[in-house]
Amino acid sequence: MVQYNFKKITVVPTGKDFIDIILSRTQRQTPTVVHKGYAISRIRQFYMRKVKYTQQNFHDKLSTIIEEFPRLDDIHPFYGDLLHVLYNKDHFKLALGQINTARNLIGKIAKDYVKLLKYGDSLYRCKSLKVAALGRMCTVIKRVGPSLAYLEQIRQHMARLPSIDPNTRTILICGYPNVGKSSFINKITRADVDVQPYAFTTKSLFVGHTDYKYLRYQVIDTPGILDRPFEDRNIIEMCSITALAHLRAAVLFFLDISGSCGYSIAQQAALFHSIKSLFMNKPLIIVCNKTDLQALEGISEDDMKLVMEMKAEAMKTLIGQGGEPTNDEGVLLTMSTLTEEGVIAVKNAACERLLDQRVELKMKSKKLNDCLNRFHVAMPKPRDQKERPPCIPEAVLEAKDKKAEQAAEKQKKLEKDLENENGGAGVYSASLRKHYILADDEWKEDIMPEILDGHNVYDFVDPDILQRLEELEREEGMRQEQVADDDFEMDGAELTPEEQEALAAIRKKKSLLIQQHRMKKSTAESRPTVPRKFDKDKQFTSERMGRQLSTLGLDPTLAINRARSKSRGRKRERSIDRGDQNGNDDMDLDGNQPNKKLRLRSRSQSRSRSKSRPPYEVVPGEGLKDSAQKKKAVKLAEKSHKNRNKDARKGEADRVIPTLRPKHLFSGKRSTGKTDRR
């Protein structure tokens, strides 16, 4: 279990937000109405309550901040030193101390002003004291504003720290930068650490988890360390030193024997010897990485000598039970994270060494003796030299065999048993067709394709498909015959020679028009029809139509008269009205004077044509009795749409404000009593 969860620390507000939160809560949670006519004791009580409530809110919020941040002296030394490396524990303690001082000052201010309020002689005096008390409290919070901002920055950074349990099984990876530490942790865990071909890609601790022998191990990737004095190391390197110093873990010291990291084996050996004091009493494994570039046997004699010295030092770090160094198996290993050769062997060796050490320490602890005292294993003493092997009666063995046979008969063979009998997983494939119900069992294993010649086979699996196809063809033939009977095509056999020439000219003209239409559609001339008043070229006129009909040998008089009568329907009325305005007598086409009432009625009807119907007028066929019933129906319909319209205003956010002016914020203070409305 991880003991320290820094992600649960409450957000630390800024000084201004802190004041707004407290004063807003005081205004909402305490009475706000007081009058001069009240008794002075009631006025004093009113303002004392304000001061006490504000002080209590400040005290609670500040106490939460102080208690939720970890005490560096009480937590595990690993986290204590890590926080000191990252934030400087003096500044951290100073900020928390200022918050504690502010809490005490606010308590003293409230105490002093409550005493003064007990002797306030008027509403004005009490109110002035209350304002002064709250103002001094806010001033104190403003002064600790930088400390609040500093603690908020620390809280955000601590929330991003990995969750490391200092007491669980841990594998720690260390070494020079760019030697393959992050690549290794990515191979054996699900961690996704950034890997780049330059130094100090990893700038903080990263944690992954792996399993070995049904146990969970945490693997920690540390930033690279350089061989230089302790005082010159930066924060990134100090994170690694802190983890090495305080975590009880198996240490994997990575060694790049190819030199591609930019550092020689001599430099890496010097780093090993400078920090070997941190490896005491810990399982240590020296891992020679990047063997795909350079094999261990191919390095120079000087480098091999340095590697052997490091191996000897690794033997001395962990002392066995009898005071002798442990065996050298698994102290020096080789691998390549690129080809993954030896990666699992290194992981298994580290987990095994760590497990052995933890078991050994537990065997030495007093806790084991407490457990052994609770066990008692009874061992019977021999009474003579005669051997007494276990004896099972024959009847029992026969009954057991008979029972096993009956159970085997009853038990149906499972697919798992068949798989084990026929070579195991990957060799035996279970048949999904053995339980098909078919007329012949031999058909079960027939291969039936789903797609054949580009068609879906199941579209053709229909016993009546031929019969239905014949019916469809017969029905289609009958329809075509009906259509052929209904169509009428003039063949021109019954026409005179003049009529045949006219028909040929019409058909020719029709084909030309079709071709022109197709050309217009295929070009940019495909545009809407132009109204006649914008026909500047006078292409579409009755005279032109008359000339075209005359060339065909037809009389155009009837067609021209019909076109004129259609286009001059309303112009006739306007000319009559215009003549009426000029004082002329109204005459119709026959020279008779029409009835003036009929003319006025026709004019009123034409004008009333554009008037809209009243909203609640009942239209025949709507099924409503009168306008009142229609008005009621319209109102009910609008009311039913109200909820849907309200839901339609919801945005993409989760927070929905159905009413823009909620009643509890705009209806004054609540009196003492029920709060069911909220």
Of the two residues 574 and 543, the one the predictor is more confident about is 543
Name the average pLDDT for the chain: 79
Say which DSSP state 9 is in: S
Q: Which domains does the chain have, with CATH numbers?
A: 6-157 (1.20.120.1190), 163-366 (3.40.50.300)
Point out the least confidently predicted range of 85-94, 109-118, 373-382, 649-658: 649-658
Q: What is the Cα–Cα distance from 210 to 250, expressed in whole angstroms?
A: 14
**Strand ranges inside 242-382, DSSP E:** 250-256, 284-289, 332-334
CA distances from 591 to 585, 586, 587, 594, 617 (A): 10, 9, 5, 9, 44
pLDDT in the model for residue 106: 95
pLDDT in the model for residue 56: 95
CA distances from 326 to 318, 319, 357, 414 (A): 7, 6, 11, 50
Q: Which two tokens stand for residue 351?
A: 């987990």
Say which DSSP state 336 is in: B
CB 334 within 8 A of CB 236: no
Q: How confident is the model at residue 366 (pLDDT cuts 50, 70, 90)?
A: confident
- Mean pLDDT, to the nearest integer, of 246-275? 84
Q: Which two tokens stand for residue 216?
A: 């969970």
Query: Nearest 5 degrees, angle CA 394-CA 397-CA 401?
Result: 140
Say which DSSP state 249 is in: -
Helix (H, G, I), strand (E, B) or coil at 323: coil
- Mean pLDDT, to the nearest integer, of 241-251? 81
Helix (H, G, I), strand (E, B) or coil at 21: helix
- Number of Cβ within a 10 Å radius of residue 80: 18
Say which DSSP state 429 is in: -
- Mean pLDDT, to the nearest integer, of 398-411? 80
Helix (H, G, I), strand (E, B) or coil at 219: strand
Answer yes or no: is pLDDT of 346 > 60. yes
- Mean pLDDT, to the nearest integer, of 235-245? 77
Answer yes or no: is pLDDT of 174 > 60. yes
Q: What is the Cα–Cα distance from 633 to 616, expressed in whole angstroms?
A: 10
pTM: 0.50
The residues near 106 (Cβ < 8 Å, ≥ 6 apart) are 55, 58, 59, 62, 137, 140, 141
Burial 483-518 (b: 16+ CB within 10 A, else e): eeeeeeeeeeeeeeeeeeeeeeeeeeeeeeeeeeee
Q: Which two tokens stand for residue 533?
A: 């008043």
Give the model confidence (pLDDT) of 428-471 as tens digits.
888 888 888 888 888 888 877 778 788 887 777 777 878 888 89
Q: What is the dihedral of CA 489, 494, 495, 501, to 10 degrees?
A: 60
Answer yes or no: is pLDDT of 485 > 60. yes
pLDDT in the model for residue 309: 83
Q: What is the Cα–Cα distance from 172 to 181, expressed in whole angstroms?
A: 10
CB 387 within 8 A of CB 397: no
Helix (H, G, I), strand (E, B) or coil at 157: helix
DSSP H/E element including 633: helix 627-648
Q: Helix 343-364 and helix 181-188: axis angle, to 10°? A: 80
Helix (H, G, I), strand (E, B) or coil at 285: strand
| Cβ-based burial of 219 (10 A; exposed 0-12, middle 13-18, buried ≥19) | buried
Give the model confidence (pLDDT) of 522-539 as tens digits.
765 555 565 666 666 666
Percent of the chain residues past pLDDT 70, beyond the cut = 80
pLDDT in the model for residue 421: 84
Please report the sign of the dihedral spanned by the C-alpha atoms of residue 178, residue 183, residue 188, residue 191. Answer: positive
Answer yes or no: is pLDDT of 581 > 50. no
Q: What is the Cα–Cα distance from 575 to 542, expressed in whole angstroms?
A: 22
Q: Which two tokens stand for residue 372?
A: 């052994």
Q: What is the Cα–Cα distance from 203 to 222, expressed in whole angstroms?
A: 8
Percent of the chain residues past pLDDT 90, beyond the cut = 15
Give the model confidence (pLDDT) of 192-225 as tens digits.
777 777 667 777 788 888 888 888 889 988 888 8
Answer yes or no: is pLDDT of 582 > 50. no
Q: What is the Cα–Cα distance from 93 to 226, expressed in whole angstroms?
A: 30
Q: Which two tokens stand for residue 78?
A: 């690993």
DSSP H/E element including 185: helix 181-188
Answer yes or no: is pLDDT of 409 > 90. no
End-to-end alpha carbon distance in the chain: 42
pLDDT in the model for residue 128: 93
Give the model confidence (pLDDT) of 372-390 as tens digits.
777 777 887 888 888 888 8
Of the two residues 653 and 225, the one the predictor is more confident about is 225
| C-alpha of 520 from chain center | 54
- Number of Cβ within a 10 Å radius of residue 210: 20
Q: What is the Cα–Cα distance from 141 to 16, expressed in whole angstroms?
A: 8
**Where does residue 659 fall: left (phi above 0), alpha (psi -120 to 50 degrees), or beta otherwise?**
beta
Residue written as token pair 């690694």: 240
Give the model confidence (pLDDT) of 587-623 as tens digits.
444 445 445 555 555 555 544 455 677 878 888 778 8
